[in-house]
Amino acid sequence: MADEIGFDWNEANIGHIARHKVTPEEAEQVLTNDPLELEPQLVDDEMRFPSVGITDRGRWLFVVATVRDEKIRIATAYDAPKYLIELYLRSRE
């Protein structure tokens, strides 16, 4: 992974995750704090990369990202369901 990860934020994706009470900083933390990467999916001709992980303050989030212009763009982020938290913890045993 590069030393400095670039993220692509605008009003649309900030507003979308805000509806789930997630801040851009929290979503970025999940992706930089050793997330469990799940199976990528092709959505509308774009690869989406779902992950589950934890923020610096201990909040578990499910984050879906894509790559645009060599930057990570968060498509959505919300509180992780219990089964994904358990999957993450089992993967780290």
> What integer pLDDT is reported at residue 1 of this predicted model?
40
CA angle 74, 80, 85 (to 5 degrees): 125
Rounded Cα distance between 90 and 12, Å, is 34
> What integer pLDDT is reported at residue 5 of this predicted model?
75
Give the distance from CA 39 to its chain's centroid.
13
Collapsed DSSP state (helix, strand, coil) of residue 43 = strand
Q: pLDDT tens digits, the chain, 93 residues: what are they?
A: 445 679 999 999 999 999 999 999 999 999 999 999 999 999 999 999 999 999 999 999 999 999 998 999 999 999 999 999 999 999 999
Return the domain boundaries, the chain: 11-91
